[in-house]
Every structure is written in structure tokens, then in C-alpha cells.
Structure 1
Amino acid sequence: MVEMTPHTMAAPGTSIHYWTAGPRDGPLVMCTHGLSMDHRMFDAQVGPLTEAGYRVLTWDVQGHGRSKPLPGKFSVTAAAEHLHALMGELGRDRAVLLGHSLGGFVSQELLYRRPEAVRALVVVGNNSLTMPLSASRRILFRLSPLLFLLTSDKWRRKVVSEGTATDPESRRYAYDATSRLCKKEFFRVWAGLSRCMRPDPDYRIPCPALLTRGENDSAGSVKGDFRAWVEREPNGESAVVPDAGHNANQDNPEFFNRRLLEFLSSWVGEGAERPSSDRFG
């Protein structure tokens, strides 16, 4: 496993913990994890990316892992601004964004707000931030956090770990990561996620995009909405990861990494800009 260098960034009411690896002048890939996961969910991607010459950043989204406490309400918009601030910490103006589930929404939000900062977008197990939802689905999405508020912590950890991964090791990781959020934190993050959608029928992703999901992803409407989202995006490529669930990059890292590197080689590859002041080794 590649050794990553730990850092912290001050944020209002908390500290954001993040890790870097790879050549300082390589194209930057910023990895954002899903709900109740943490930076470790990209461990299987760090080695192949750094070996291919990319600078990699992973981080714990506020309220997750070591990025505690979670003061006030959680919002995807605030998380996107933290992601942009991390880009600045490395002296970069642009990056490739790789996001899983919640992290996919955070990455899409940053792209929506600051398109000039994003070289390419890769999402895993995610829905479109901007595709309009029916009234009934909007209501169900808003009410979904209550399910976890009304159930036990033990049930939450079991449901999340078994519902996100198919690989036994990935399930053990998901259970451990989820256990690091208390019930209140989990509810507040889910509540913020349920308010993140930006219905915009005319919006299209303005940069190269790779949309992926696991073959057996059963989380929400990811699988059901995938084809419509792919067909909507003129700049989008897609991949269904075989023998994988919601955490597809963990369940089948060999397939996922191969497709990821092919995509990055086509759209990023040579000619990467150099950072003005990447201060960290």
C-alpha cells in the first residue's frame, strides 16, 4: 500500500483531515468518499494512480473519519467549498474529481459552481445532481433520513455495510467506517444530502465525465437512473463494474482501476499544468 502524507486544514468549527501521495507535479485527482465512509475507501486506487504519475488527494468529509466535529447542519455545498479549498492548499487551480455516492454529489456541486476548476469528473454509484425528480421522489428523498433516525445504531451499521458492498473485506471496512459516525452525525449528513439536488433540465456536464456503477448496486435509484443519465450527457462515458455493489471501486478494484486509468489517459494524460506551490511532500 502506498504511504500517504497526512495534513489538516482549518475550517469553520472543525478541522478537515486529508492525505496526499504521488508526484507533486502530476495531474491532481481528488477523491471524495460516500456517506458514512472515509478516505480509506480509495486505498485500492491510490497505488495505480500514483504509479501512473497522478498526484492523489483523499480526505474525510466533515463529520466523517477524523474530520470532526460536525457543527450545525451538514450541506453538500459547504463540502464542495471544502473540496475547492483543499485544491488551493495544494496550490492548484484545477483537478480531476473522483466521487463516490455522497462524494459524487459533492464533486458535481463543485463542478456546477466552479466549472473552471474541474478538468474531468468521475463518479461511482451516484445520481445526477441536476436531473429533475418527480414530486413523489423528491418527497421520499427528503423523508428518507427519518428511517435511520428511528432505528438502532446496530441496525444502521448492518444495513449500510451489507447494502453498500458485496466483497467481504469491503463490507468489514464499511461497517468500521460507519461505526465512526454516531447516530446524530449520520442523520445530519443524510439530511443534508437529501436537500442537495439542483433540478436544471438544460444543464449538461461541461467536462469529460466517466459515470460508473456496480453491476449489483442496490442503493436508492442509482441503477434505475443510470442509463438515462448516461444518455443525457454528451461528454459522458460510462462503465458498469461487474461483480460489484454500491462501493464498486472497492468490490472490483481491478476492473474499476483499469477503466479509470483508460479514461484519465484519454482526457488528462500529458500536458498537465504545474502547481504554483504544492507545499506538501
Structure 2
Amino acid sequence: MRRHQLRYLLPQGFFALAWTEWGPEDGLPVLCVHGLTRTGRDFDSLAAALALEGRRVLCPDLPGRGASDRLPDPAMYVPPTYVAALSHLLARLDGPVDWVGTSLGGICGMVVAATPGHPVRRLVLNDIGAFVPKESLARIGDYLGEVGDFADLPALETYLRTVHAPFGVLTDAEWRHLAETSARPGADGRVALHYDPAIAAPFRGAEPVDMDLSPIWTRVTAPVLLLRGVESDLLTAETARAMAKRPGVRLAEIPGCGHAPALMDPGQIGLISDFLSTV
């Protein structure tokens, strides 16, 4: 695993985007983009597996998360900002790329893949689709940014096991990995979550409303693997099956998971590997 960063430009100035990278530098790139409150380190297991297959795997921390810079205005924490930051990384790659996006990362992937001249060869959408019910957005908003810090790493891990129980059945080592990569040092020996609490601001500026992404989805023509946690409230079965009617879309429903499958299980990794290995 290698660590990198680049400077990207927004109207408010230049900021740093950090990512971890796996595999040979001349391998066909795979860009793995995480969900709302997570980091690129969530993809360590997937990235290691794809790297063994000769793929170059890049796992960025979105702005305000992990090792990437926080932004000066909470209103900047919206998908157009994330796509702008990621576009600088795509420009550096300057060629075809496969995209694996969990939740928010999948929204960014759809936006890029719907844009004329995009470089996306294949797109994996992990528990995100063309329509998101307002009730699921309200649930996320209820916990987002509420917790400040924790007495120690085990306390943070306990919190993650609760709010991210829908990730599915994980081993103790996997939960500990998520905790270690979700923590930053706090005051007086305490630990805090890695992300800027200000990412919650867009959720609290107005009443939740249904998110209709169908105008974007209809412009996506790349082959798609659509992963859905069987118990997901964010990607409903109705939405997923409607999306799967489009030619080139493969739907796989993951039992024992809600929003969103953690992509650490060998079976889930295998689904992605098989899909991305298709020429």
C-alpha cells in the first residue's frame, strides 16, 4: 500500500486530496470511492485482492474525510465538490478506469459516468441507485455528526458496530480495522471520528426529501454491477429491479446486509473481481 496526495482547485482555493494505492503502477486503474462517513481504507481487502490480479487500485479519502483536507465552508460538502476533487485524480490517470462506489461514492460514479467524454469503463454501484427514499436520508442524518469523541479506540469501535451494523457480519479483526482507520487523536488521550462534523450541515439545512437520481442514471451507458444489501432501506428492491431491466446491468443481492455491504467478504470481492475482469 502506498500513500499519495494531490492538490485540487475549487473556487475557494486549493485543497489536498489523499488516497491509498495498491498494485502495479501500469495496471488498469480501479477507483474505489467510499460512503458518506467512511474513508478509502474501507477498501483495503478489496484493493489487496484486485492488486494481486494486476490491477492498480486507488482509494481516495473524499474532502473532509481521512487524510484529505477539511473544507472552510460546510456548504461545500456536496457531490459537485467531491466530483470536482475526484476529476483531478481522473485527469492524472488520463485513461480508462473502473469505478467502485459505495453509497455517496456511487453517486459520484454515476455523475462521472453520465458526463460526455467520461473515462469510466465499468461501474460498480454498492447499495445506491436511481432513487433514495427520504426516510433513509433522515435516518442517516439522525446520527451524522452527533458524536464528538470517545474515551478510547474500543469505545469508538463499539459505536461503529452499532451505526454500521447493516454492513453485515464482520470479524472482530475487520471491525477493529474499521475503527483504527476511522479514528484521529483527540484531546486528553481521547479519539475522535476522522471526518469533519460539518459534513452534516447539508443534511440539516432542510427537511429530507426523496432523492431522484434517475435523470443522471438514464445517461449512464457503461456496464454496471449493482450490489444491494437484501435488508437495505436506501436501495429498495423495487428500485434495484427496475434498474436491472436496463441492458448491461447485473444485479446481485447480498444476504445478511443492509446499507451497505462492507465489501470485505470473499464472496462480495469475487463478484466485483469477476465483473471487472470482463473485457
What TM-score results when the alignment is normalised by the length of structure 2? 0.76
What amino acid is aligned across from residue 71 of structure 1 in structure 2? Answer: P
* Structure number with higher strand proportion: 2
What is residue 274 of structure 2 aligned with on the other side? 262
Preserved contact between residue 96 and residue 121 of structure 1 (Cα < 8 Å):
yes
Following superposition, the deviation at residue 33 of structure 1 comes to 0.6
Q: How many aligned residue pairs are there?
A: 252
Aligned pair 1:183/2:197, yes or no? yes
What amino acid is aligned across from residue 8 of structure 1 in structure 2? Answer: Q
Aligned pair 1:147/2:142, yes or no? yes
Preserved contact between residue 102 and residue 126 of structure 2 (Cα < 8 Å):
yes
State the alpha-carbon separation in 1 of the partners of residues 100 and 146 from structure 2.
Answer: 31
Paired residue secondary structure (1:248): coil
Aligned pair 1:203/2:218, yes or no? yes
State the alpha-carbon separation in 2 of the partners of residues 79 and 241 from structure 1.
Answer: 27
Preserved contact between residue 163 and residue 219 of structure 1 (Cα < 8 Å):
no
What is residue 218 of structure 1 aligned with on the other side? 232
What is residue 105 of structure 2 aligned with on the other side? 103
Aligned pair 1:235/2:232, yes or no? no
Q: How does 1:1-281 map to 2 (within 5 A)?
A: 4-11=1-8, 12-72=13-73, 73=75, 74-90=77-93, 92-128=94-130, 131=131, 137=133, 147-148=142-143, 151-153=146-148, 159-169=162-172, 170-174=174-178, 177=182, 179-185=193-199, 187-188=200-201, 190=203, 197-200=212-215, 203-215=218-230, 217-231=231-245, 233-252=246-265, 254-267=266-279
What amino acid is aligned across from residue 92 of structure 2 in structure 1? Answer: E
Against the structure 1 CA distance between its residues 60 and 33, is the aligned structure 2 distance closer, same or farther, given a 3 Å change threshold?
same
Paired residue secondary structure (1:250): coil
Preserved contact between residue 76 and residue 196 of structure 1 (Cα < 8 Å):
no
Deviations 1:136-170 (A, max 9, x none): x45x5776665346955579856533343432444
Following superposition, the deviation at residue 260 of structure 1 comes to 1.4
State the alpha-carbon separation in 1 of the partners of residues 224 and 233 from structure 2.
Answer: 21
State the alpha-carbon separation in 1 of the partners of residues 211 and 16 from structure 2.
Answer: 22
Preserved contact between residue 241 and residue 255 of structure 1 (Cα < 8 Å):
no
**Percent identity over paired residues:** 23
Following superposition, the deviation at residue 77 of structure 1 comes to 1.6
State the alpha-carbon separation in 2 of the partners of residues 242 and 195 from structure 1.
Answer: 25
State the alpha-carbon separation in 1 of the partners of residues 163 and 14 from structure 2.
Answer: 28
Deviations 1:224-278 (A, max 9, x none): 53222222x21111212344443424352x11121112112223xxxxxxxxxxx
Deviations 1:119-147 (A, max 9, x none): 1101111122xx5x7xxx45x57766653
State the alpha-carbon separation in 2 of the partners of residues 59 and 218 from structure 1.
Answer: 25
- Structure 2 unmatched ranges of 5 or more: 150-157, 184-192
State the alpha-carbon separation in 1 of the partners of residues 228 and 43 from structure 2.
Answer: 15
Deviations 1:14-52 (A, max 9, x none): 311012222222211100011111011111111221111
What amino acid is aligned across from residue 5 of structure 1 in structure 2? Answer: R
Q: RMSD across aligned C-alpha pairs, in angstroms?
A: 3.2
State the alpha-carbon separation in 1 of the partners of residues 145 and 48 from structure 2.
Answer: 40
State the alpha-carbon separation in 2 of the partners of residues 76 and 248 from structure 1.
Answer: 21
* Structure number with higher helix proportion: 1
Against the structure 1 CA distance between its residues 67 and 27, is the aligned structure 2 distance closer, same or farther, given a 3 Å change threshold?
same
Preserved contact between residue 243 and residue 251 of structure 1 (Cα < 8 Å):
no
Against the structure 1 CA distance between its residues 49 and 194, is the aligned structure 2 distance closer, same or farther, given a 3 Å change threshold?
farther
State the alpha-carbon separation in 2 of the partners of residues 172 and 219 from structure 1.
Answer: 26
